Amino acid sequence: MERVPLGIKKIDALLKGGVPEGSCILLSGEPGTGKSLIMQKLVYNHLKKGNSVIYVTTDRTSERLVEEVKDYGMDYFKYVKNGQLKILDTYVGFVRKSEKGFSYADIRDLTEISIKIEKLRRELEGRKFVEVYDVISELFIWNKDKDLVLRFISSVCSSGSNKSIALFFVINEGIEDDRYINSIKSVVDGVLLFGVSEDKRWFKISKMAKTSVSTKKHYFNITEDGKIRIL
């Protein structure tokens, strides 16, 4: 079985090389625990290797995302221009015409989002790509029918698992009902939990298909220049 590395050496070592190819992974934790930074780094590592990426952003515009990672030394724009990075911007209130390689969808319209995702997947057919959804919590905030959001997430996961090499969903804890988080945890193949206790950041692998892992907490730091240092 092939594995898909995150590109963060120590985490990949814990995962025996990476997450299983074709898997859906959930990153869950309170806001500010480092989930987005890990995703932004994973995306950049895959782009640098020549893989492509579908990045669905819900809690910041694509412009803000590109600006933010630039501050940390990652040039996303270069990869938007060469077609390797496809950003789908669903930031509410910002429904604009697609431009400069960015695409847009209304976060309150799950059908539109599905259609746009399928379009991006077709554009990347024959290439290796990962998909990142940061954060799916916003889908629950903006859509009244929570069961529909759950169905949307599980259909994105099952329809993507034979197209992309891995899918990553980020969720902020403390916003939705635990019921929804738990059903997503049961649908996905892997769960990485993030937290902060006594001023120390940690993550743990609470579930990973086809991988024997310890469920202990691993403490880490984020350095000034945005490096993840496992302690």
Q: Is 32 in the site for ligand ADP (CB under 6 A)?
A: yes
Q: Is 222 in the site for ligand ADP (CB under 6 A)?
A: yes
**52 neighbors 128 (Cβ within 8 angstroms):** yes
Site for ligand ADP in 71-110 (CB under 6 A): 72
In the complex, minimum distance from the CB of residue 137 to ligand ADP, in angstroms, rounded to a whole number: 10
- Which DSSP symbol is given to 15? T
Q: What is the three-class DSSP state of 133? A: strand
Q: Which stretch binds ligand ADP (CB under 6 A): 15-23, 24-32, 139-147, 156-164?
A: 24-32
Among candidate residues 150, 205, 145, 148, the one with its CA nearest the CA of residue 183: 150
Site for ligand ADP in 159-218 (CB under 6 A): none
Q: Count the site residues for ligand ADP by CB under 6 A.
A: 12
Q: Which of 22, 29, 160, 190 binds ligand ADP (CB under 6 A)?
A: 29
Which residue carries 């209304």 as its tokens? 106
Q: Which stretch binds ligand ADP (CB under 6 A): 35-43, 48-56, 122-130, 177-185?
A: 35-43
CA dist., res. 27 & res. 49, Å (int): 23
In the complex, minimum distance from the CB of residue 158 to ligand ADP, in angstroms, rounded to a whole number: 25
CA dist., res. 14 & res. 218, Å (int): 10
- C-alpha 147 chain-centroid distance: 21
